[in-house]
Amino acid sequence: MKALPADEILPLPDARSFSHVDTWIFDLDNTLYPHTSRIWPQVDERITLYIAELFGIDGLSARALQKYFYHKYGTTLRALIDEYNIDPYDFLDFAHDIDHTDIALDERLGAAIEKLPGRKLILTNGSRKHAENVARKIGILDHFEDVFDIAAANFVPKPDRRAYESFLEKHAVEPTRAAMFEDIAKNLIVPHDLGMRTTLVVPKTADPFREEFEQEAVRAVHIDHITDDLASFLGEGVLPSV
């Protein structure tokens, strides 16, 4: 995989690339909002605090354990379920108890999503409540048919293939007629293999609260498009001109 230079201009796609799509699938965190909204840093800090309180350890030790869990299991929650049998709903409520003050209304994104022809769904490793709270603040919740969250996936997180298969089955989605938008490159491997049109959403500026691999603009066979401006990408590149 090759990371794109930060200053490279990412061309808008030809609308014909999406002419077959009738289902639009979006990740939530760091995909439907910019990192300046300060949503993910809060969630990340809450997860660290949860671990510190669960094991009675200091913050640095909790942080190291959290990252170990994340890299081994895909999410900290999956590790805590498998190894310590915690109540996942208590964890999610705690982790997503955040301040939504810095989440801005995004009228451009809302208008672009509203105009997409067909169904629109959110597929997230977070909770439904978190997704709905954030999407409502952005001003886009009403444009989505449903949210498929980590509980709906039986707490199996992306990029595990089972998470996508559960989503496709529940919502009767034909993957070869779907498009997936994600902020982490590895989470697009399975969607591409299933036949989806894939788009990687990267930040305009580096996010100091996330690891490098989580935000790099990667060129790979499983990534059809890359954008650092989702609203423009959808509004000017995906929709055919009239």
Domain boundaries, the chain: 2-36+104-238, 40-95
- Look up the CATH number of domain 2-36+104-238: 3.40.50.1000
For the cut 70, the answer to whether the pLDDT of residue 182 exceeds it is yes
Lowest mean pLDDT among 4-8, 78-82, 98-102, 180-184: 4-8
Instruction: Output the pLDDT for position 11.
Output: 67
Residue 122 φ then ψ, to 5°? -105, 130
* Residue 85 exposed, middle or buried by CB count within 10 Å (0-12, 13-18, 19+): exposed
For 113-130, how does the pLDDT look when each residue is reduced to its tens digit (9 = 90+)? 999 999 999 999 999 999
For the cut 90, the answer to whether the pLDDT of residue 44 exceeds it is yes
User: Which pTM was predicted?
Assistant: 0.91
Q: What is the mean pLDDT of the chain?
A: 91
For the cut 70, the answer to whether the pLDDT of residue 106 exceeds it is yes
For 143-157, how does the pLDDT look when each residue is reduced to its tens digit (9 = 90+)? 999 999 999 999 999
CATH 1.10.150 fits 40-95, yes or no: yes
Q: Which residue has the tokens 């490793």?
A: 125
Instruction: Output the pLDDT for position 1.
Output: 41
Q: Which long-range contacts (CB under 8 A, 24 or more apart) does 48-56 make?
A: 49/94, 50/91, 50/94, 50/95, 51/76, 54/80, 54/84, 54/86
Helix, strand, or coil (residue 120): strand
Judge whether 123 and 156 are in contact, CB under 8 Å.
no
Roughly what angle, to the nearest 10 degrees, separates helices 59-73 and 76-84? 90
2-36+104-238 and 40-95 in the same fold: no
Q: Looking at the chain, how many residues does it have?
A: 242
| Residue 218's pLDDT band (cuts 50, 70, 90) | confident
Instruction: Output the pLDDT for position 109.
Output: 97
Instruction: Output the pLDDT for position 206.
Output: 76
